[in-house]
Amino acid sequence: MSLFIVMIKEIVDNLRDRQTVFYALLFGPILLPLLLGGSLVASFKQLSIDFDEVTTLSVQHAQRAPRLMEFLHSQNIDVIDAPEDVQNSVRRGDVLAVLEIPEDFAEQLRQGRPAPLTLHVNSADKESSKAARRVQAILSVYERTLNNLRLQHRGIDPTIFDSLNLVENDVSSDGSNGQLLASILPFLFIMSMVMGGFYLAIDTTAGERERQSLEPLLSLPLKRSAVVFGKYGATLCFVTLSCLLTAISIYTLFHLFPVELMGGQIRFDGRTLVRAFLLASPLLPFISALLITVSAVTRSTKEAQTYLGLMMMFPMAPFFLLQFLSVKSTTLTMPIPMLSQYQLLESAVLGDSIPLMHIALSATGTLAAAGLLLMLASRLYQREGLLD
Amino acid sequence: MIVVEELHKSFKRPGARSFRLPFGIGKPASSVADERVIAVNSVSFTADDGRITGLLGPNGAGKSTTLRMLATLIRPERGSARVDGHDVTQDVLAVRQHLGFMPHNAGIYPRLSARENIHYYARLCGLDKRRAEQRVGQLIEQLDMGKFADRRATGFSQGQKTKVALARALAHQPQTIMLDEPTNGLDVMATRGLREIIRQLASDGHCIVFSSHIMQEVAALCDHIAIISDGCIAMQDSLQGILQRTGEEDLEDAFVKATRELSTETDR
Ligand SMILES: Nc1ncnc2c1ncn2[C@@H]1O[C@H](COP(=O)(O)OP(=O)(O)OP(=O)(O)O)[C@@H](O)[C@H]1O
Ligand SMILES: [Mg+2]
């Protein structure tokens, strides 16, 4: 009972604190996703290639390859004449890319030899590279058609060369970002949890010591554990609320600006987010316990902010670790709080199936760690040194 | 009613090595006493119901430490103390139920109003919502806090803070009330007002313990005085009794004499 009185008082008290409310309800859940997600949406609008869209391509000496021009046209590309000074206009960005057809193109083709083509591109310019990639993709389709014709001409079944049917997974563009992308969700979730409870945890423990309101509080007829768990409950409420709001704002963001991430492999739809939230939920009690325990050791809010500031490395550590080292999801990594949630949430975002064993191990490991931390926190509150 | 018998409490000296470096680096402490500060050496006194007991002593005498032990905030190392018959080391919750403690610092919550501050404590002491509200209203009237009761405590004057802290300590109508230097930072009028409240509480039958280092205050208010110095009780009696026993005219001289007697006694 007294536990709930403490909890409600701390919530009401902290809702009146602008800083706490800003970080818990605005920074973590809204500003951070907007910043990261927003730049993501923007960059992917830029990187993705829309093959149905009609675009133009400058071609120099188009008349030397009428068949190719027809093919380009059938692929939704409008051929226009190239400018005078091809090199410089590509460099300046006047045109994105120029396809040059050399004089001997038709001749070489007729003789069944490799026909030369030059593509002028400015690889320093994203837009230019993107245009070039599109042209290359279309030309390779054309090349294949030509090859087939040549082989058939010589009485060879072209499919005997198709010993492999390779489906390209373009790692150069958005492919390599796949993992980064997928780990943005756990990053935002964990960040919002930490930010959500950060100031409340400090205010209710170190802040209370600093204000010297702990002494009269502890002389009241209630158990010290009720005080600790009340404060813990208040932190848990803020942490949960902050994470929930984050899920909602990510959903809203990707709902308003749908982008095709990794060919639709990465999704931030409602189902994924609910799944991710549930997978991350054992972290709610864990992070709350971590915040309360660390700030219970400290004497002043300043000290608490320093310690907890250092602790903010924790949510980032798996983020960077997983970027550079590929740590496989195994039964060994699963009981580790934070790391396992990173891996599970990545899988969730990528739409992979997750073994039930992994979910169980992750939840058990994280909740056990939370329990241990809470025990430590209530031990810390039994200390006499608490009143110094 | 409080009965204290030979309480003793020492603290680890701040900055003392809590662990020894390996290979004998760092000088070893010469004795155990060197490593610890004795805050309360041997304190015994009795505070009766319906009486105001003053704990009079200079800075660092061990007043706050004694009161903290009585309030079950820290555990005595030796000796015993009972509050309304409940032992402070065994019956912790019962002691807290019978005790209203106002520590040295008001320590009120600045983002809560005066009313909310008191209400919070009343609820924590087990009063239900309705009874807590009633009690808070009663206290606000009794301590004349109507003017600032619904203002947030940020920026309260020292007197206002003290009143809120006192009201909080009284929230659960404890039989025994302990106040640690309550008149600190109060002006003359506020001090007089507070004395009036304390007298009223005593005449209602409460047991009041009151610590101070100000002679006039103790002389003006207390029925029973315990002089504490260097963690020991030098003398305890009524004001009249103390003046008689020391053969002095006023409390200040009596105080000096009593503490000097104590130190020569311990030196011997
Ligand atoms: N937590 C602590 N750690 C170390 N020393 C302490 C601690 N608490 C008190 N002391 C020491 O114990 C002695 C008694 O302190 P206490 O606060 O009880 O004095 P006091 O009579 O209340 O003085 P004042 O009138 O200044 O409030 C002092 O020397 C103080 O430095
Ligand atoms: Mg003191």
Query: pLDDT by residue (tens digit) across A266-319?
Result: 778 888 899 999 999 999 999 999 999 998 888 888 989 898 888 888 777 777
The answer to whether residue A172 scores a pLDDT higher than 70 is no
**Terminal Cα distance for chain B, rounded:** 34
Does ligand 1 come within 6 angstroms of the Cβ of B59?
yes
Tell me what pLDDT residue A173 has. Answer: 38
Segment A180-230, tens digit of pLDDT: 777 888 888 998 999 999 999 999 999 999 899 999 999 999 999 999 999
Residue B134: what are its φ and ψ, rounded to 5°?
-55, -50
The answer to whether residue B202 scores a pLDDT higher than 90 is yes
Tell me what pLDDT residue A167 has. Answer: 46
d(CA A49, CA A242): 36
Domains in chain A, ordered, with CATH?
2-46+175-387 (no CATH), 55-168 (3.40.1710.10)
Segment A123-151, tens digit of pLDDT: 887 778 878 888 888 888 888 888 888 88
Going by the DSSP 8-state scheme, the letter that residue A52 receives in this structure is T
* 3-state SS string for A312-361: CHHHHHHHHHHHHCCCCCCCCCCCCCCHHHHHHHHHHHCCCCCCHHHHHH
Beta-carbon separation of A216 and B111 below 8 A: no
Scanning the structure block, which residue is given the tokens 């803070």?
B161
Segment A5-56, tens digit of pLDDT: 999 999 999 999 998 899 888 888 888 888 887 777 776 665 555 555 557 8
Does ligand 1 come within 6 angstroms of the Cβ of B137?
no
Beta-carbon separation of B120 and A17 below 8 A: no
Alpha-carbon distance values, A1 to A25, A51, A166, A236, A328 (Å): 27, 64, 65, 17, 45
Nearest alpha carbon, ligand 1 atom 13: B39
Segment B85-132, tens digit of pLDDT: 999 999 999 999 999 999 988 889 999 999 999 999 999 999 999 999
Q: ipTM of this model?
A: 0.91
The answer to whether residue B29 scores a pLDDT higher than 70 is no
Residue B177: what are its φ and ψ, rounded to 5°?
-125, 130
| Nearest-CA distance B62 → chain A (Å) | 15
- Which pLDDT band, with edges at 50, 70 and 90, does A174 fall under? very low
Segment B50-72, tens digit of pLDDT: 999 999 999 999 999 999 999 99
The answer to whether residue A170 scores a pLDDT higher than 50 is no
Segment A355-368, tens digit of pLDDT: 899 999 999 999 99
Q: What is the largest CA-CA distance in chain A?
A: 100
- Across chain A, mean pLDDT equals 84
- Which pLDDT band, with edges at 50, 70 and 90, does B31 fall under? low
Q: Which residue of A has its CA nearest to B112?
A: A13
Beta-carbon separation of B103 and A219 below 8 A: yes
Beta-carbon separation of A211 and B93 below 8 A: no
Contacts of B151 in chain A (CB under 8 A): none
Tell me what pLDDT residue A115 has. Answer: 86
Query: By the CB < 8 Å criterion, does B161 face chain A?
Result: no
Contacts of B93 in chain A (CB under 8 A): 221-223
Contacts of B97 in chain A (CB under 8 A): 221
Tell me what pLDDT residue A39 has. Answer: 78
Higher pLDDT, A23 or A176: A23
**Angle between helix A224-256 and A177-202 (nearest 10):** 140
